[in-house]
Amino acid sequence: MRIGELSRRTGVSERSLRYYEEHGLLRPERRPSGYRAYRDADVAAVRRIRVLLAAGLSIAQIVQVLPCVVDDDDGRLVPDCPELVDELVKQRDRIGEAIGELEATRGNLDVIIAAERRAG
């Protein structure tokens, strides 16, 4: 299939698909005309990429992680490499720390807002 069809089937823009290709996440064949030729398996690969992006991983991290995840019978991503779980735990912990920092920031803003409202 061509890039437009992959875009329609996945809901991902052609620009994003080219970006994924630039980073080695997709490897379409090239026809003699120069057009990209994607396989049906690329639809699932794009879905995995989108799930990993939504999980907070960067493209650089996804490059490392993508070969180590597979779809289970329910269509969920599961790790296929033991070392992947340790990396995902680290990523989850980083996200948890960021959430804690954002909650502290929100708390500080709440104090400032409350003080202004009492003064007003």
- H or E stretch covering 95: helix 82-119
Q: Read off φ and ψ for residue 38, nearest 5 degrees.
A: -95, 155
Residue 55 CB neighbours (<10 A)? 15
Q: For the whole model, what pTM was predicted? A: 0.78
Spell out the per-residue pLDDT of the chain, length 120, in tens: 999 999 999 999 999 999 999 999 999 999 999 899 999 999 999 999 999 999 888 999 999 889 889 888 888 888 888 888 888 898 899 999 999 999 999 999 999 999 878 876
